[in-house]
Amino acid sequence: MIKAVIAIHGGAGAISRAMLTPAREQEYVQALFTIVRAGQSMLENGASALDCVTEAVRLLEECPLFNAGIGSVFTADETHELDACVMDGYSLQAGAVAGIQHLRNPVLAARLVLEKSPHVLLIGAGAETFAIRHGMARVDNALFSTDARYAQLLQAREAQQVALDHSGAPLDERSKMGTVGAVALDYAGNLAAATSTGGMTNKLPGRVGDSPIVGAGCYANNASVAVSCTGTGEVFMRTLAAYDLSALMEYGNLSLQEACERVILEKLPALGGSGGAIAIDREGNVALPFNSEGMYRAYAYAGDTPSVGIYRDQE
């Protein structure tokens, strides 16, 4: 019997314990627990994996603790440009959007692209017009702003750098690799994945990372695995990390754990790539690999108590 399961992440990186206070850590733990529990409840009630990952990522976009939707980082022009992708492992259909400035939940726009368009990826104003035509509301770009993210922008400018939401050292939660994601296996045996991000602090307007790129930051295939990545996006794009993980399983006959170790712990670091991924294979095995100090993550099997972790010693 298939055991339905969902996993989520809120970004990876060098999340210094010295900088993350117990109270702040508890905020992240509680947010992750609440969101993974919502996805778990949907699975238990028979929802599809695609619906579960879409809703989990929507909830992550609504939480200002994470760099997606509300609470997204600023571009160099003091605006927000958001990206998202969803993929159905049963049909291999995918939908993605990039450079979104006026839609509250990019993951819902990506879902509309999957369901209502003949395309896979829409960008900028065209993506927004399409989503609004299909019922989404236009919002002001300032909706995504928070004081903490603006302070990050000022710090990045002063240091004359483009910052991942978790990079450098020593680091705290202010510099984590800002992506959120979800993967799930439902009772029908179908896999799905979703990824969403606000990108990099002080990034050039128009920059797009791995999150909305099918096979780079997001991938799902019932023959192998569902994957959502977080990290140095340019390296994940150059290695097609999410698809590479799937291919190693489908063609190389590697186990989920073996494929994760090959991609996240060997291939990415060799090119200077830092970060991690969440992955569920067609048998319901879960892997949460990362080569950084930590990754905000949680998973829950139907009927079991959710597991939440940030650091390497938390499983």
Could you write out the DSSP letters of every residue in the chain? Answer: ----EEEEEEEEE---TTTS-HHHHHHHHHHHHHHHHHHHHHHHTT--HHHHHHHHHHHHHH-TTSSSSTTPPPBTTS---EEEEEEETTT--EEEEEEE-SBS-HHHHHHHHHHH-S-SEEEHHHHHHHHHHTTPPB--GGGG--HHHHHHHHHHHHHT--B-TT-SSS--GGG-B-EEEEEEE-TTS-EEEEEEE---BTBPTT---STTSBTTTEEE-TTSEEEEEEE-HHHHHHHTHHHHHHHHHHTT---HHHHHIIIIIIIHHHTT--EEEEEEETT--EE--BSSSEEEEEEEETTS--EEEEETT--
**Residue-averaged pLDDT of the chain:** 93
Residue 171 or residue 203, greater confidence: 203
pLDDT tens by residue, 176-216: 457 999 999 999 999 999 999 999 999 999 999 999 999 99
Q: Is residue 181 a known part of a binding site?
A: no
Q: Is residue 178 a known part of a binding site?
A: no
The answer to whether residue 97 scores a pLDDT higher than 70 is: yes
Type of residue at 221: N
CA distance 196 to 60: 9
197 is catalytic: no
Domain ranges of the chain: 7-160+176-311
Q: Is residue 231 a known part of a binding site?
A: yes
Q: Is residue 239 a known part of a binding site?
A: no
Contacts of 211 (CB under 8 A, 6+ apart): 83, 84, 85, 179, 181, 195, 196, 197, 217, 218, 229, 233
Q: Is residue 83 a known part of a binding site?
A: no
Torsion of CA 178, 232, 101, 56, to 10 degrees: -50
Of 75, 179, 197, 201, the catalytic one is 179
CA distance 142 to 32: 25
* pLDDT attached to residue 165: 59
The answer to whether residue 61 scores a pLDDT higher than 80 is: yes
The hierarchical CATH code for the domain 7-160+176-311 is: 3.60.20.30
Question: Taking residues 159-182, what's their average pLDDT?
Answer: 61
The structure's pTM equals 0.94
